[in-house]
Amino acid sequence: MVIPVTSQRCAKHLRPAGQFLRTSCCIALCGRRLLLDLLHGMLICLLHVLMIWLVPVLVSGLLPGMHACSSVNAAEPPVTAIAVSPDEELVLVGCQSGLYSARVDQLMNSIGQDGRVSWREHSQVINVELEAIHEIMFSPDGRTIAVAGGTPGQFGIVCVLERGSGKVHQRLSDHDDVVTSVAWSEDGRQFYSAGFDGRVNCYEADETWRLLHSREVSTKPLTSLQLLHDAPSTDKSPNPEKPSEGLLIAAGLDQNIRIFDVNSPSDSPALRVLNNHTRPVLQVFTANSSQTNEPTRQLVVGSLSEDRTIRFWHPRNGRMLRFVRLSETPISAVFADTTDHAIVCDSLGTVRIIDSRTAQVQSESPTVCGRAFSCAWISARKQLLMGGRDGVIVAVSTEIGH
């Protein structure tokens, strides 16, 4: 068969058109596949994001048993400070949500089977406007309250409250960082404050509270402060305008415990530096005879540290009497009535009674408190109040003194 010349010319022109159509179809098919792959990848990414965000929420809502505490308590901040008034009628509780007051008898009647105290149901809010509260201390007569706190890294504040009115009488903001601890003089006319700025300030009551002097103690943050009233002053010529006598004991993150004469000038060095701890010191604690039911047999200072040790010291000569090492980090401690027994709470909420004369652990009791940030001793009831995470307060009964 002979193809006409015109037909051959048409076929010659149609071949490129066919190739173009085939190429266009291939490109369209490839683009469609690329688009499908892109959509598939975006869908997988979206599913991953939803799983990361939503699954924990669903689990916490549908399976609350997977958590150590209920979803209600999980939203509560930890109880970082607890104080009992000298007459043991009032309890003050401090946390990031504010300062609260409650009667001791009402709290003791609200203790559950697991030891938890339903304290929020029986407490009233005291407006102090502190972002963080680290310590609450009643004056020796119980009429005035010093609340230490502030904003970490910015400023420290001590709120002075009158117990009768429950209102803030004065806000003292002389620290450059958060205030961690306060200690009262025996006559209640002065108190001392320690902060993360490494300074100890002394305030005196006139018509208002005023800064008397400031002592540079350490270049690192201070965590705890105690004023030991029973120790005699080493100053041979004390200032008659400052009749308070005793030893000022400050501890901090530099692992050291420094002891000062309260009557010494603010620029004088420490009388003694106790440096046996190998990690930051979290707290020093004492038992003054004016705050106990019977005179202390011996002046003893206790300290606890991140090195997991509890150490007992003689404050006059600075000698370490004895120590005990725990399995967990001790966080908070008090002496019960006398310095014979120390009650120590650790990072897991375990309560231990330690005989300071032998450094032997006499008893050990786990609680539902979790990490114990604070504690307070109620002597008449022989009970310890522990402040833990998630807003939990636990009451622990002991046999000390029975």
Question: Mean of the pLDDT values across residues 300-311?
Answer: 96
Lowest mean pLDDT among 1-10, 133-142, 279-288, 387-396: 1-10
Q: Hey, what are 115's tokens?
A: 């030891």
pLDDT band of 279, cuts 50, 70, 90: very high
CA–CA gap between residue 399 and residue 402 (Å, rounded): 6
pLDDT at 229: 78
Q: What is the pLDDT of residues 365-401, one digit of tens each?
A: 999 888 999 999 999 999 999 999 889 999 999 876 5
How many angstroms from the chain centroid is the CA of residue 1? Answer: 103
Q: Could you tell me the pTM of the whole model?
A: 0.77
Q: What is the pLDDT of residues 12-51, one digit of tens each?
A: 554 554 554 455 544 454 555 666 666 766 766 666 555 5
CA distances from 386 to 198, 232, 253, 356, 366 (A): 27, 33, 23, 21, 12
Q: HSE of 316 in the Cβ direction (CA atoms, 13 Å)?
A: 8
